[in-house]
Structure 1
Amino acid sequence: MQIQDDLINYEKIKLIIWDLDDTFWKGTLSEENTTLPQENRELIFKLNKSGIVNSICSKNDYDLTKKELVKYGVWDSFVFPSINWDSKAKRIKAIIEDMQLRDENVLFLDDNTHNLEEARFYLPKLMVASDKEIPKLIHKIKGFEDSDPQLKRLRQYKVLESKTKERTRFDNDNEFLHASKIKVTLHKDCSAVQGRLLELINRTNQLNYTKKRLTLDELEILLKDKDYDCRYMYVKDRFGDYGITGFYALKNNELEHFLFSCRIMGMGVEQYIYEYLGFPKFDRQGETTINLKERNVVTWINARSSLLKENSGDKYNIIAKGPCDISQTMAFFGDNNIVEEFTYVANNGMSVEGHNHTYGIIGSLTFSQEVKDEIKDDLIFVDENYFDTKLFNNDFDVFVYSLHTDANLGVYKKMGSLNQYVAFGEAAWPLTDEMCWAKYIEGEVFNSGVSFNIEFLKKFSTDYEFVGRISPEDFYDNLRLIRSLLSEKTLFLIINGSELIYENNRSESYSKREEVHKEFNSSLQKFVQNYSNTHLIDVNKFIVGQESYTDNINHYVRSVYYKIAKEIKEIIEVNHSHGIKVLPHKLITLGFADMIKKIAHTLKG
């Protein structure tokens, strides 16, 4: 198959996907030694410096191929490598989708005519070429300037590759986005970065909702026009920094420009900004990859609007512990002195949340170091930071907590122990039940990204017994003990669970969760009535219907989190203005030794 040079638009290429055997290198890896032509090696480096990234679609053994590419010093020059024995067309399609590109901006190189024809059949707009086109490619690319000498685009796709791999460890996209800790900031100094803004305005398509192209002079006039509110977006998350990735120009509640870089596609930034602006009007031009919704959807982006700081010069020392309802609520508290102990992703990629179960909190203080080390060594879902908390090490003004972790996780007790409890996974799927093992291993149920195996599950089932979801009575007792272990001055605020059924539930784990919440809420109500300096944040005041949810009963739209945060702010300011009242009328201050004895007695059995 001979692809004519004039059918390849080199100016449009953003990605080249390489076959390896007898294309990138000479020879077949599985049968003989390979040789990498120096000009091909230099071509990869030149492409990356020119802003054109490279991927691999090869029928080979992954480990052997990686070793060979490392030997040639080019492994890190590729992104999203697909190396296995499956047919190539679908893999090429997956690479392009994962990289958030369009088929027409991709060139596929392969020496095998069947692979090229198959790829072009499934992806008609894809550019394809045989290995005989490589010399022409080398000649063409030599004329390209090094527009990206620092390889920023390559690094950005490396970040996206890491995110794509980690996304598979989460039960759903919403959980992943919450764990990504996406931060978006808006900036008004547009003239200082007008070169980047001009590039965005004229080159973006997939997330450009207005598609009004400008010259530099026209952009300068726009930015100087005081009738327009012009701002650009700076985006980052825990995976990396994406830089300036969006721009809008707003006048009289109508968007003249509204556009975003495809590098942040899938993060929800465009929807978040649309919500932030109050759903202004705009004249949509052409097709876009993502449609905007005229309702609040995004709950995972922390814009840090500094709610607590408004109307108050005070800052309070706050600690917040819990899952995504806590993290989304505390996003409104800006740069106050907040210690955040949320669900987190460990170094090995697993999601950790059991540390914020009431049993986890108590264990962090009462377990000996020997017991903690034993648990960390024995349990693959407990990482080295599991027992690290600042809750009892500082005199916090406020402790904000959520019951969602206790209402969700399963609890396990060490055989023969009095009080050695750990919490993990959804209570509907016991780790000790052999019928659930395959589901955990294959990821058919939420496994927090833990790589379970039969050997571990057998040993765990021998060492631990499944208690079930913590009972509302034990939840009450654990809260009582935590309250007594806190500093006397600490204001204890607890967010309860929604009692309105989520009608679109498809998860067995969340079946009848509203009934579970009613039971826990009842215990929580009793707890706050019996102890002063302790307050209930009732989300049910803010849940007005199905429109208050996103994808399950525990995930709310942004306006709900705002109202929760606002009530927390009011409670804090009222208590501080009058002096925080301490010492619950039914709480006896105990010496530490007596407290440990009391904990052990309460948790016994």
Structure 2
Amino acid sequence: MKPKLGRIKCVVWDLDNTVWDGILLEDGDVKLRDEVAEEIRRLDELGVLHSVASRNDRDAAMAKLREFGLADYFLYPQINWNAKSGSIEQIAKSINIGLDAIAFVDDQPFEREEVSHVLPAVLTVDALGDLPTILRQDEFRPKFVTDESRIRREMYQAAAQRDQIEQEYSGTSEEFLATLDMKFTISRAQEADLQRAEELTVRTNQLNSTGRTYSYEELDALRTSPDHLLLVASLTDRYGSYGKIGLALVERGKPAWHLRMMLMSCRVMSRGVGTVLLNHIMGLAKADGAKLRAEFVETGRNRMMYVTYAFAGFTEVERDGSHLVFESDLATIQPPPAYLVVETD
């Protein structure tokens, strides 16, 4: 089977005899593997994330990574004495990605086999192999490198900062969200948005109404079609930008508009903005004197989108296997939350 282009979203690295030559707690003076550092920086530029799963002393290992200038590249590093499979599961949970989007690099066959046995979806890589060649294979090569790809790590780091502040916040969740000064922007897709739009259809699973992917060329044709409306949504707050985090495709008509696709990045699941784009589309359809129908395809991972439609007042009107159609008469449209400013073009 041909490898799926760009399926790896995060590379998890062992440290001893992987990122550096030698065993830190035995040798002390370990030597950075320059080809590894180069690959970490190169993949980071492409938007591929990095983390660590290492059996080591955390303080000593992090100090060495800082000395080598690499500490900031690793999100949610798991440096402990636990099984590597457990560390990888924690990383996937923290980043909110599937295990099939992770590659694990380790020099020890036992560690790779343990991970393969417990987490068969994870791609394991021999750290002593030809890493520059292996890490340039299709699984590690995204189709597009967008502006957001280059700052993806920084966006996750900002998210971690928000999460930490939220954990320390003593008020309610809604009170915390009100402190973020969030602005949600909805606009018609422009040509400059299309690479990120295609990337969203490929990368988004849990908050994707149909699971369908669209190519750049398909999205460009729909963007310019008089019968369709292609919308993109962005989110910012006091800590920075979340980037373009939402996409919707509507086919306009009478007596009903048809919402062919709607998706939201998992990065904003906890920000209470999941229905803002849907409610905006509902308002547009109502203003046009139409009902709104919405397609939904059960993928096994997008149950949250089913719930989103149900809470928005949609009812199921058609079902053919895993393909459903919801409909709303638009009698009730929820306003955006009070802690959010919504801007539209």
| TM-score > 0.5, shorter chain as reference | yes
For the Cα contact (< 8 Å) 1:49–1:148, is it kept in 2? no
Is 1:30 aligned with 2:25? yes
User: Cα deviations across residues 175-223 of structure 1 (Å, max 9, x unaligned)?
Assistant: 5444433321111353453343333345533322134444445433422
Q: Does the C-alpha gap of structure 1 residues 215 and 48 become closer, same or farther in structure 2, counting only changes over 3 Å?
A: closer
* Residue 311 of structure 2, aligned match among 278, 295, 299: 295
List runs of 5+ in structure 2 lacking aligned partners.
Answer: 284-291, 313-333
In 2, the alpha carbon distance for the partners of 1:281 and 1:159 equals 36
In 2, the alpha carbon distance for the partners of 1:259 and 1:282 equals 12
Tell me what 2:295 maps to: 283
**Number of equivalences:** 299
Tell me what 1:256 maps to: 260
Deviation (angstroms), 1:285 = 1.8
Tell me what 1:156 maps to: 155
AA aligned opposite 2:258: E
AA aligned opposite 1:257: M
* Residue 129 of structure 1, aligned match among 125, 131, 138: 125
Higher relative contact order (CA 8 A, sep 6+): 2
The 5-angstrom pairing of residues 318-467 of structure 1 reads none
Is 1:80 aligned with 2:76? yes
Q: Does the C-alpha gap of structure 1 residues 54 and 199 become closer, same or farther in structure 2, counting only changes over 3 Å?
A: closer
Max radius of gyration: which structure?
1
Tell me what 2:102 maps to: 106
Deviation (angstroms), 1:276 = 4.0
Is 1:269 aligned with 2:273? yes
Q: Does the C-alpha gap of structure 1 residues 128 and 213 become closer, same or farther in structure 2, counting only changes over 3 Å?
A: closer
In 2, the alpha carbon distance for the partners of 1:196 and 1:23 equals 33
In 2, the alpha carbon distance for the partners of 1:43 and 1:224 equals 39
AA aligned opposite 1:302: L
In 2, the alpha carbon distance for the partners of 1:60 and 1:8 equals 33
TM-score, normalised by the number of residues in structure 2? 0.73
Higher share in strand: 2
The sequence identity of aligned pairs, in percent, is 26
In 2, the alpha carbon distance for the partners of 1:195 and 1:13 equals 18
Tell me what 1:12 maps to: 7
Q: Does the C-alpha gap of structure 1 residues 141 and 111 become closer, same or farther in structure 2, counting only changes over 3 Å?
A: closer
In 1, the alpha carbon distance for the partners of 2:117 and 2:173 equals 31
List runs of 5+ in structure 1 lacking aligned partners.
Answer: 1-5, 307-605
In 2, the alpha carbon distance for the partners of 1:107 and 1:93 equals 12
Q: Does the C-alpha gap of structure 1 residues 216 and 43 become closer, same or farther in structure 2, counting only changes over 3 Å?
A: closer
For the Cα contact (< 8 Å) 1:204–1:260, is it kept in 2? yes
What RMSD over aligned residues (CA atoms) do the two structures have, in Å? 3.3
For the Cα contact (< 8 Å) 1:184–1:301, is it kept in 2? no
AA aligned opposite 1:238: R
Deviation (angstroms), 1:36 = 1.2
SS of the residue corresponding to residue 255 of structure 1 reads strand
Q: Does the C-alpha gap of structure 1 residues 182 and 87 become closer, same or farther in structure 2, counting only changes over 3 Å?
A: farther
SS of the residue corresponding to residue 63 of structure 1 reads helix
In 2, the alpha carbon distance for the partners of 1:170 and 1:285 equals 38
The 5-angstrom pairing of residues 99-248 of structure 1 reads 99-133=95-129, 135=130, 137-141=131-135, 147=145, 151-170=150-169, 173-188=173-188, 190-191=190-191, 193-248=193-248
In 1, the alpha carbon distance for the partners of 2:272 and 2:163 equals 15
For the Cα contact (< 8 Å) 1:275–1:295, is it kept in 2? no
Q: Does the C-alpha gap of structure 1 residues 239 and 122 become closer, same or farther in structure 2, counting only changes over 3 Å?
A: farther
TM-score, normalised by the number of residues in structure 1? 0.44
Deviation (angstroms), 1:96 = 0.7
Is 1:71 aligned with 2:67? yes
Q: Does the C-alpha gap of structure 1 residues 203 and 87 become closer, same or farther in structure 2, counting only changes over 3 Å?
A: closer
Q: Does the C-alpha gap of structure 1 residues 164 and 18 become closer, same or farther in structure 2, counting only changes over 3 Å?
A: farther
